[in-house]
Structure 1
Amino acid sequence: MQKSTGDAAGSTPFLIISSDTHAGLRTDQYREFLESRYHPQLDLYLQWQQSTAGMRKKTQNDEFVREWYEENDEGLRGGWDAERRDRELDRDGVAGEVIFPDADAVAATTAVPFGAGIGMSGAGYDPELALAGARAHNRWLADLCRQSPARRRGVIVAPIVGNVEGAVTEIRRAHSDGLRGGIMIPSLWGHGNRPYHDEEYDRVWAVCEELGLPVQTHAGAAPGEDLGPHLGLYATEVYWWSARPMWFLIWTGVFERFPGLRFGVQECGLWWVADMLCQMDVAFDREHGTKKLAGFGGHMKRRPSEYFDANCFVGGSTAKRRELADRHQIGVGNILWGNDFPHPEGSWPHTREWLTHLFADVPEDETRVMLGEAAVEMFGFDRQEMISVARRVGPLPSELGQSGSSRPSLPGAPGRHWLDGPDVPEIGRSA
Structure 2
Amino acid sequence: MNDERYTVISADCHAGADLLDYRPYLDKRHHDEFDAWAATYVNPYEDLVADTADRNWNSERRLAELEADGIVAEVVFPNTIPPFFPSGSLMAPAPSTADFERRWAGLRAHNRWLADFCEAAPGRRAGVFQILLNDVDEAVREIRRASRAGLTGGVLLPGTPPGSGLPELYSSAYDPIWAVCEELGVVVNHHGGSASPPLGDEPAARAVFMVETTWFSHRALWHLVFGGAFRRHPGLRLVLTEQGSGWIPGVLDMLDYYHGRLVPAATKASTAESKFGAGLAARMGERPSRVWRDNCFVGASFMRPHEVPLRERIGVEKIMWGSDYPHDEGTHPYSREGLRYAYAGVPRDEVAAMVGGNAARVYGFDLDALDAIAAKVGPAVTELAEPLAQPPADATSPVFAKGASLRVW
User: What's the CA shift for 1:253?
Assistant: 0.9
1:311/1:122 Cα in 2 relative to 1: closer, same or farther (>3 Å)?
Answer: farther
Q: Could you tell which deviates more after superposition, 315-324 or 340-349?
A: 315-324
More divergent stretch after superposition (145-154 vs 121-130) = 121-130
Letter in 1 for 2:349: D
Q: Which residue of the other structure, out of 16, 19, 23, is the alignment partner of 2:15?
A: 23
Match of 2:233 in 1: 258
Alpha-carbon separation, structure 2, partners of 1:122 and 1:242: 16
C-alpha offsets along residues 353-380 of structure 1, whole Å, 9 cap, x if unaligned? 1111111122222111111111111001
Q: Do residues 223 (structure 1) and 197 (structure 2) align? A: yes
The structure-2 alpha-carbon separation of the partners of 1:227 and 1:206, relative to structure 1 and needing over 3 Å to count, comes to farther
Which among 133, 144, 149 is matched to residue 172 of structure 1? 144
Whether the aligned pair in 2 keeps the contact of 1:131 and 1:167 (CA below 8 Å) is: no
Using the TM superposition, give the Cα deviation of residue 43 of structure 1 relative to its aligned residue in structure 2, in angstroms: 4.2
What amino acid does structure 2 have at the position aligned with 1:389? I
Equivalent of 2:301 in 312, 317, 331: 317
Match for residue 126 of structure 2?
A: 153
Is 1:245 the counterpart of 2:220 in the alignment? Answer: yes
Q: Which moved more, 1:37-46 or 1:259-268?
A: 37-46
**1:261-311 CA distance string (max 9 Å, x none):** 101111111132121111111222229xx8973243322321101101111
Alpha carbons 2:160, 2:167 under 8 Å: kept? no
Match of 1:353 in 2: 337
Equivalent residues in 2 for 1:242-321 (5 A)? Answer: 242-286=217-261, 293-294=273-274, 295=277, 296-321=280-305
Q: Distance in 2 between matches of 1:227 and 1:196?
A: 27
Q: Quick check: 1:99 aligned with 2:76? A: yes
How far apart in 2 are the matches of 1:172 and 1:254?
19
Q: Does the Cα contact within 8 Å between 1:208 and 1:215 map onto a contact in 2?
A: yes
Are the counterparts in 2 of residues 265 and 313 from structure 1 also a CA contact under 8 Å? yes
* 1:170-210 deviation per Cα after TM superposition (whole angstroms, max 9, x unaligned): 11111111111110021225532112222221111111111
The answer to whether the Cα contact below 8 Å between 2:170 and 2:223 also exists between their aligned partners in 1 is: yes
Instruction: Identify the range of structure 1 (86-95 vs 217-226) with the bigger mean alpha-carbon deviation.
Output: 217-226
Q: Give how far 1:319 is off.
A: 2.4
Q: Give the equivalent residue in structure 2 for 1:328.
A: 312
Q: Is residue 70 of structure 2 the alignment partner of residue 113 of structure 1?
A: no
Give the letter aligned to residue 320 of structure 1: R
Cα shift at 1:149: 1.3
Report if the CA contact (8 A) 1:359-1:367 is conserved.
yes
SS of corresponding position for 2:282 = coil
The answer as to 2:354 corresponding to 1:370 is: yes
The whole-number CA distance in structure 1 between the counterparts of 2:87 and 2:289 is 30
Equivalent residues, number:
371
How far the C-alpha of 1:114 sits from its partner, in A, is 3.1
Whole-angstrom distance in 1 between the partners of 2:93 and 2:255: 28
Q: Are 2:62 and 1:85 aligned? A: yes
Residue equivalent to 2:134: 162
Q: Which amino acid aligns with 2:197?
A: P
Please tell me whether the aligned partners of residues 129 and 154 of structure 2 are also in contact (alpha carbons under 8 angstroms).
Answer: yes
TM-score by length of 2: 0.83
Shift of 1:116: 9.3
The one-letter amino acid paired with 2:152 is: R
What amino acid maps onto 1:87 in structure 2?
Answer: A
Deviation at 1:325, TM superposition (A): 2.3
Residue 191 of structure 1 aligns to a residue whose secondary structure is coil
The alignment-based identity, stated in percent, is: 38
Q: Distance in 2 between matches of 1:220 and 1:257?
A: 28
Aligned partner of residue 95 in structure 1, secondary structure = strand
Query: Considering only aligned residues, what root-mean-square deviation do their CA atoms show, in Å?
Result: 2.7
Matched, 1:187 2:179: no
Q: Which whole-Å CA distance do the structure 2 matches of 1:122 and 1:162 have between them?
A: 12
CA distance in 2, matches of 1:124, 1:240: 25
Encode CA deviations 1:300-331: one digit per residue, 9 max, x unaligned: 32110110111111111132111222212211
3-state SS, counterpart of residue 264 of structure 1: strand
Q: Give, in whole Å, the separation in 2 of the partners of 1:273 and 1:48.
A: 43
In structure 2, the residue matched to 1:12 is: 4
Structure 1: distance between partners of 2:102 and 2:330? 30
- SS of residue in 2 equivalent to 1:129: helix
Secondary structure at 1:256 match in 2:
helix
**What secondary structure, in the 3-state scheme, does the structure 2 residue paired with 1:297 have?**
helix
Is the contact between residue 160 and residue 166 of structure 2 (CA under 8 Å) also seen in structure 1? Answer: no
Deviation at 1:153, TM superposition (A): 0.7
Q: Which runs of 5+ in 2 are unaligned?
A: 267-271, 388-409
1:114-129 to structure 2, matched below 5 A, reads: 114-115=84-85, 119-121=89-91, 123=93, 126-129=99-102
Contact map agreement 1:277 1:305 (CA 8 A) in 2: yes
Structure 1 residue ranges (4+ consecutive) displaced by more than 6 angstroms after TM superposition: none
Is 379-388 or 227-236 further displaced after alignment?
227-236
Answer yes or no: is 1:134 the counterpart of 2:118: no
Q: Per the alignment, do residues 132 and 78 of structure 1 end up closer, same or farther by CA in structure 2, a change over 3 Å counting?
A: same
C-alpha distance in 2 between matches for 1:395 and 1:44: 47
SS for the counterpart of 1:170 is: helix
Distance in 2 separating the partners of 1:239 and 1:377: 26
